[in-house]
Structure 1
Amino acid sequence: MTQRIRAAVRGHEVVAGLLVAVALGLILLAVPRVERLVLLVGAASVLVLAVLLIERFVHGEPELTWTTSSGTPARVRGHDRRITALTRAIEASRRGDLVARATVQDTLRSLARDRTDLGPDLTAYLNATNPPDVDAARLDAHLTELEEH
């Protein structure tokens, strides 16, 4: 029973204290003979309210920590369908799939669209009408060049 009361009051200690004070005041006005008992209960409830408030302010609030992340969990690989599709296209292009080679080349073109001063090797790859076969090391070099520019 006390756990249910604590759960209901948690976070609303001031409101609960005011409700108890109003209830005790109404009882005191309605039945003047229980004046001392009501004052004793009222004093005890004020004391309990004070203890609850002190406990809440001292122990109830967790320590605030600041992070640089937005609070969203990091995505695991394969969660973003675009990256999964591009990964499959790269793997297929390495196996000789011409459509996948064109997809990889188009993706790199879109990344390079606003960049200038690209190296001759990357420029030749991006301007080729038929996408050449690119191994993993060369693709990594192209991506690194795009990141640097």
Structure 2
Amino acid sequence: MVSSPRTIDDVLAEARSRLRRLTPEAAHARWRAGDLLVDIRPAAQRADEGEVPGALVIERNVLEWRLDPASDARIPQATGHDLRVIVLCSEGYTSSLAAASLQDLGLRHATDVAGGLRAWRAAGLPVTGGEPASPGRAESVV
């Protein structure tokens, strides 16, 4: 049986239905309390938009391999499935999909920042470099 195609909006809604998404302020508080804040944006976006000082950078294309406790390519922080991961992207779309993917690997506490770095910056939380995106500013699509 062939299932009918889904849109990205369907996939995103399903992913978010499993997450307890965090406001930037709540994410910042949990990060300061010991949760792992992971910035999955590519280098070009980080250079353009700025970075959260101290966040762990793991680009999206290798995220699951680095955080899966059973992976040979895991990072030292990936010690078990109880790891509390907060995923950050530019606007909070890709991070929702990534956090759901981490949950699929058994990292049940994985979540993301609603609104991404843009909301983080707007909340006055620490960002170094870059500048806020503006409607007139060109952005690359990767």
TM-score normalised by L of structure 1: 0.25
Between 1 and 2, higher relative CO (CA 8 Å, sep ≥ 6) is seen in: 2
Q: TM-score, normalised by structure 2?
A: 0.26
Computing the radius of gyration over CA atoms, which structure comes out larger, 1 or 2? Answer: 1
Give the helix-richer structure, 1 or 2.
1
Question: Which has the larger strand fraction?
Answer: 2
